[in-house]
Chains A and B, each alone.
Chain A
Amino acid sequence: MSPYGPVAIYLAVAFLASLGFCLLPGVLARKKPNAVKSEAYECGVEPTSDVSGRFPVRFYLIAMLFVIFDVEAASFYPWAVQMHQLRLFGLAEMLMFVIVLAVGYAYVWKRGGFQWR
């Protein structure tokens, strides 16, 4: 069996277990719905507006920065496990990579990209 075979079997078991947990309330839980219960919670008052309004663009900025730096972190992994073989060559290559990133990082910092306002 390939090394991923057992992982797949485990995930199948976990899938069934989670599915069981998700379906149980449908069978066992009491059901007495009424209009007030199924309102969205807003501290007891009637909901004043729906949620399709606006929310801060800052969250999107964080998500974009994350994508950039996470790709970078992912590219460190194969390099890291080969470091014992690569030695100085690997070090030099990685330093170039980090310097390029550091320029971008410094730019984002200077433009206030990490400042939560």
Chain B
Amino acid sequence: MSAVPIWLIVLVKAVIVLFVVITTFAYSMLAERKVMGWMQLRPGPNRVGPWGLLQPAADAVKMLFKEDLTPDTADPLIYRVAPFISLITAMGTFAIIPFSANADGTLWSVGNVNAGILLVFCMTSIGIYGISLAGWASGSKFPLLGSVRSTAQMISYELAMSMSVIGVLILAGSTALGDIVGAQYRVWFIVPQIVGFVIYLITAIAETNRAPFDLVEAETELVGGFHTEYSGLRFGLFFIAEYLNMITVSCLATLLFLGGWNGPFGMPSFGLLGLLWFVLKAGFFLFFYIWLRSTLPRFRYDRLMAFGWKVLLPVATLNLILTAVAVALWPSHA
């Protein structure tokens, strides 16, 4: 290994991870349309290639060649930078997320920093700028309304989200994602942290602006929300960012609560088997998103905000206090 410089290995890893993540995005988008189709008793996309498998490629080509419009009222620079911010922060989180580990504990990730989860939350928070700037810079009414709404929604739920994972940090005693998974070797944190898990799940859906919390793009009230004015690939960038964020929160849920690449019941698993477990668990969350979208109607905005501030935040705080009490009184069990 000494012949190959470290930076080159990292570069190759980075390119592979990005490629895999973008491909996952393309096929989770197709999977969403297919699964929603089946849930509504229709076939879903089935024209482009066998079972519609080439649909993502067709969509990409269409997006690429579509006219890229900038309204006269827009602030041209910020209007163009906003989707870029959304996309790069959505891509950035995958620098730290480990997908599996070797038997000696080496993580299958690009980087391994001890502030892991903080860095992930940091990136997702910056992603909010993409949405709020996009709405503001469009110089149009619907995007502005959509973006102030979504900013308020996302910061409110981000609060409950960061509170809900503190219980996990108390139990694991670390913010590094690899250590958190290692601490779940015997019992997955979903068992002692079931309350935190439920809150995380709800806030994760609200954070990524997905149904039933997709008030950002409530078509019936706001046309398309913050991306009303965007067309072609620039609209596509927001779309990619949204799905990458979904994949990120699914991976985080897997790492924090479902034992990451550990098999169930303390089954040892690493390497490719670990990767298989990881993909199965994260895939379940992605399916859960689609399931929710085709099941639940959209929330009302005032109820959404009241739910976040009056229910999720206090319950998350209570959960963290109870976890702290348990660890302080019976440290050996935790």
Contacts and interface: CB of A to CB of B under 8 A. Distances in A.
Interface of A: 1, 3-7, 9-11, 13-15, 17-19, 21-22, 24-26, 28-33, 37-43, 47, 50-51, 55, 58-59, 62-63, 65-66, 69-70, 73-74, 76-77, 80-84, 86-88, 90-91, 94-95, 98, 105, 109, 114-117
Given A26-B68, A80-B169, A81-B169, 6 more contacts: A5-B111, A11-B88, A14-B91, A40-B138, A76-B163, A114-B309
Nearest to A4: B113
Contacts of A70: 155, 158-159, 162
A95 B80 CA distance: 47
Contacts of B234: 22, 25
Nearest 6 pairs of A and B residues by beta carbon? A116-B302, A40-B140, A6-B111, A10-B95, A7-B111, A14-B91
B186 interface: no
Interface string B149-178: 101100110110011001001101111000
A24 B233 contact: yes
27 contacts: A3-B113, A6-B95, A10-B14, A18-B87, A21-B237, A24-B233, A25-B232, A28-B64, A30-B66, A40-B71, A40-B72, A40-B140, A42-B140, A42-B141, A43-B223, A47-B140, A47-B141, A51-B144, A83-B173, A83-B327, A84-B334, A87-B328, A88-B328, A90-B324, A95-B321, A114-B306, A114-B310
A77 to B, nearest CB: 7
